């Protein structure tokens, strides 16, 4: 497994792979890896010849009062996860590699970057789209993998790739959960034991919402209100949103029909956690799908 730290090294790696007619897959992360990230690596491993993991805590996707400085970092742990997943190269660039000058060029997916997460974090998706565009420029991968947990990120990156004419295929990997259902996240380490216990309310409430849809509920506003009430019944949860939106446009829907994303965000102490489920509803039939 090679460690690469700059764009030239990455381009030489890709050039050698292409010369051997090999395909390249990329899993972009911010490190502090856990089994959720590993699922992305395992999903791509059989699909590509050369598997690349990038680890970069991207400053432009953090707001001024967010946790950039204290975001968890664990390169030794990341190396162990990467080796176990048979990664061929780890790309761990310095900020000066990804942002060689004070940035004035950004990629922005207007509209869908301002709802849900974007309503509370107005520059977050501009940072995400910009760094993913840079990684695509450097690595020109055949496939990238993103996790369902960050469903809005999937929608934004998919739209960016479509509009910027990237031929790269996007693979979405289902959310990996702890035993009690909490979605794995690098930020879970911030939770106190009581908050950690309380945080399971997100998954429980989403499960109840999915059961309601399977039971015939089609009123999206009522579903969202019940979901919100279920989360608010947990005293340690401070709800940001609990919504039912169109899975492609992220616009609110009145009826649960077609592909809908049921998305929640709440704070537990200072830690903001997300979760979602994505459903395809056609008449009576309800299927769990990926965003
Ligand atoms: P991050 O390091 O948090 O930026 O995440 C890197 C990638 O891993 C993103 O595509 C995330 O959606 C994905 N990811 C993070 N947690 C999980 C999880 N629990 N299950 C599946 N994918 C995840």
Rg over CA atoms, the chain: 19
Nearest CA to ligand 1 atom 11: 147
φ/ψ bin of 258: left (φ > 0), alpha (ψ from -120 to 50), beta (otherwise): left
pTM of the entire predicted model = 0.97
**The pLDDT of residue 266:** 98
Residue 30 Cβ inside 6 Å of ligand 1? The answer reads yes
Q: Where are the alpha helices (DSSP H) in the chain?
A: 7-19, 35-44, 75-84, 95-98, 117-120, 124-139, 151-163, 193-198, 201-214, 220-232
**Token duo for residue 1:** 């497994």
**The pLDDT of residue 154:** 98
Ranges of CATH 3.40.50.620 domains, the chain: 2-173
**The pLDDT of residue 119:** 96
The predicted-structure confidence for 228-246, as pLDDT tens digits, reads as follows: 999 999 999 999 999 999 9
Nearest CA to ligand 1 atom 10: 146
Please determine, looking at this structure, whether the domain spanning 186-283 carries the CATH number 3.30.1300.10.
Answer: yes
Ranges of CATH 3.30.1300.10 domains, the chain: 186-283
**Centre of ligand 1 from the C-alpha of residue 185, in Å:** 7
> Which atom of ligand 1 is least distant from the CA of 150?
12
Domain at 2-173, CATH from 3.20.20.140, 3.40.50.620, 1.10.40.30, 3.90.1150.10? 3.40.50.620
**The pLDDT of residue 204:** 98
**Token duo for residue 49:** 């010849």
Residue 134 Cβ inside 6 Å of ligand 1? The answer reads no
Low-confidence ranges of the chain (pLDDT < 70): none
Residue 61 Cβ inside 6 Å of ligand 1? The answer reads no
Catalytic residues: 37
């Amino acid at each position: 497994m090679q460690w690469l730290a700059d764009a030239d090294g990455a381009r030489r790696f890709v050039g050698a792979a292409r010369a051997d007619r090999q395909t390249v897959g990329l899993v972009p992360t911010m490190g502090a890896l856990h089994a959720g990230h590993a699922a992305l690596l395992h999903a791509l491993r059989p699909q590509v010849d050369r598997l690349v993991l990038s680890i970069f805590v991207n400053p432009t996707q953090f707001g001024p009062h967010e946790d950039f400085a204290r975001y968890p970092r664990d390169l030794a742990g990341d190396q162990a996860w990467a080796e176990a997943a048979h990664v061929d190269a780890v790309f761990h660039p310095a900020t000066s590699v990804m942002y060689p000058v004070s940035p004035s060029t950004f990629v922005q997916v207007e509209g869908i970057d301002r709802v849900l997460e974007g309503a509370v974090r107005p520059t977050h998706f501009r940072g995400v789209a910009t760094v993913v565009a840079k990684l695509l420029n450097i690595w020109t991968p055949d496939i990238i993998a993103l996790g369902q947990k960050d469903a809005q990120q999937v929608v934004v990156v998919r739209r960016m790739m479509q509009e910027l004419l990237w031929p790269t295929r996007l693979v979405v990997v289902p959310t990996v959960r702890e035993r009690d259902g909490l979605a794995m996240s690098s930020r879970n380490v911030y939770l106190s034991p009581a908050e950690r216990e309380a945080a399971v309310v997100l998954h429980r409430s989403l499960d109840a919402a999915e059961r309601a849809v399977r039971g015939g509920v089609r009123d999206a506003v009522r579903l969202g209100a019940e979901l919100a009430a279920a989360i608010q019944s947990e005293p340690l949860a401070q709800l940001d949103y609990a919504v039912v939106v169109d899975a492609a446009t992220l616009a609110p829907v009145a009826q649960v029909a077609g592909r809908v994303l049921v998305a929640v965000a709440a704070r537990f102490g200072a830690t903001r956690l997300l979760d979602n489920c994505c459903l395809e509803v056609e008449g009576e039939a309800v299927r769990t799908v990926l965003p």
